[in-house]
Amino acid sequence: MDAHSKKSSNVVWHHSTVTRQRREALNGHNSAVLWFTGLSGAGKSTLAHAVEEELYLVGCRTFVFDGDNVRHGLCADLGFASADRVENIRRVGEMSKLFIEAGVIALTAFISPFRSDRERVRSLMPHGDFLEIFCRCSLEVCEQRDVKGLYKRARAGEIKDFTGISSPYEEPDDPELVVETDVLTMEECVAKVMQMLRDRGIVWQQGTNAHD
């Protein structure tokens, strides 16, 4: 029996009087999910955290879901078999949806190699809330970076089903943004993401956070 078939008929959704729109108005910006996808070593986590820093400086409420961090808690019970990978992304998608309702800009950094998994997360959310950001980086550059030594181990056959080596990565067909992380500087990558957020009306104003 899968997770979806375990739902009780006695569970009823409770509607809060404090709506998403009221939370967004209080926060001074709209909420959204920025889904950073790409190969290991493409710079997803680095870019997500750099964008979060920039958003903080203009007074936005944010949270980053990092692939490794999530597996220390929310998904600590999951391995890396195909079914576990699907469930890992499903959980992150559901959690991100809750953060949207909280009026927060959620940033996720996951390889999420399969289009079907990413599209499943997109389908959870209202149109325009899921912003897929493809961190395009050549496999050669990713292997050169290899800060965790994973590619070397994968090439040696020590890691099975490693994305880019023994398991495929399916590039997004029509992402909201493509960032060439092997060509642009980190500052240029951040600027592209921030411009997209302003163009889409998610970030309303520019300025300095009151905490600084």
Catalytic site includes residue 112: yes
80's tokens: 């890396």
Tell me whether strands 130-136 and 177-180 are parallel, antiparallel or unpaired.
parallel
Q: For the chain, what is the HEC assignment?
A: CCHHHHCCCCCCCCCCCCCHHHHHHHHCECCEEEEEECCCCCCHHHHHHHHHHHHHHCCCCEEEEEHHHHCCCCCCCCCCCHHHHHHHHHHHHHHHHHHHHCCCEEEEECCCCCHHHHHHHHHHCCCCCEEEEEEECCHHHHHHHCCCCHHHHHHCCCCCCCECCCECCCCCCCCCEEEECCCCCHHHHHHHHHHHHHHCCCECCCCCCCCC
Q: Which of 40, 112, 123, 138 is catalytic?
A: 112
Distance from CA of residue 99 to its chain's centroid?
12
Which residue in 18, 111, 136, 55 sits closest to 92, CA to CA? 111
Active-site positions read 112
